[in-house]
Structure 1
Amino acid sequence: MTTFGAIGIASTGMTVSRKWLDAVSDNLANINTVRGTDEDAFQARYVVATAVGYPENGQGVQVAGIELGSAEGRMVFEPDHPLADAGGYVKYPEIDMSSQMTQMIMAQRGYQANAAVVDRAKATYEAALQIGRS
């Protein structure tokens, strides 16, 4: 693999990690979004990634799509809420904060690891240029 190939593959990983972080931030921002019981709850976003050119000549990863979580939500008894139905219930999204925080850490680590690969490849390329100048 060439130095530029490593940078290209690492950049695809950074892109997927960034999209993953975007989805997690959307989910966390809407974890307390309340809806009436006659409406759909906020649907969590989940990034689906796929390998590009695997196994012949791996070229990185890409976002294959975004899957949405359940629109059913969870019913919570809050009779004083302005959106509460006649029985006093409102609908919250089915989003688990601990799961989202775990995903956020994994996405951050993935981004950092790919950024480190880009830095190392750049340093290798610069060292090769210095050798060529000597």
Structure 2
Amino acid sequence: MALDAIGIAGTALTVHRKWLDAVSDNMANVNTVTGTDGDAFQARYVVAREAEGVGGVMVAGAAFGDPEGRLAYQPDHPLADEDGMVRFPDIDMAAQMGALIMAQRGYQANAAVVDRARETYLAALEIGRS
């Protein structure tokens, strides 16, 4: 039982770590500017699904934000077009902060499950030695 809990929580730790990586990458690139002739930085979103046969969860892939991004008027920017427009990613910082908190809490909860399952397993081994 304890080994199953460790394995299942371990899969969730991996998903939450990848989610944290995606959110931090999105937040780091929220102000990345491109010219209007190119695509904006695309936010990355982790797609998770149930792991078949073994229990737990796994990363099924990634979804990406809109490459159109949002246009902003910045005529002094070196990448501005003839109309003074540049392209920013379409990333909502408030939504990313919410996702960051959820991913952190999920990671912490699953790390606690691994710790408690490990302690239970070690206690059972100690009882068996007595």
Which residue is equivalent to 2:58? 62
The 3-state SS of whatever aligns with 1:49 is strand
Q: TM-score, normalised by structure 1?
A: 0.94
Q: Distance in 1 between matches of 2:54 and 2:113?
A: 16
Count residues in correspondence.
Answer: 130
Amino acid at match of 1:49: A
Cα deviation code 1:62-108 (max 9, x no counterpart): 00001111000100000000000000000000000000010011000
Which residue is equivalent to 2:109? 113
Point out 4+ residue stretches in structure 1 off by more than 6 angstroms: none
Which residue is equivalent to 1:104? 100
Amino acid at match of 1:40: D
Q: TM-score, normalised by structure 2?
A: 0.97
Which residue is equivalent to 1:42? 41
CA positional deviation for 1:58 = 6.1
Give unpaired runs (5+ residues) of structure 2. Answer: none
CA positional deviation for 1:113 = 0.5
Which residue is equivalent to 1:128? 124
% identity of equivalent residues: 66
CA RMSD of aligned residues (A): 0.9
Q: Distance in 2 between matches of 1:130 and 1:30?
A: 50
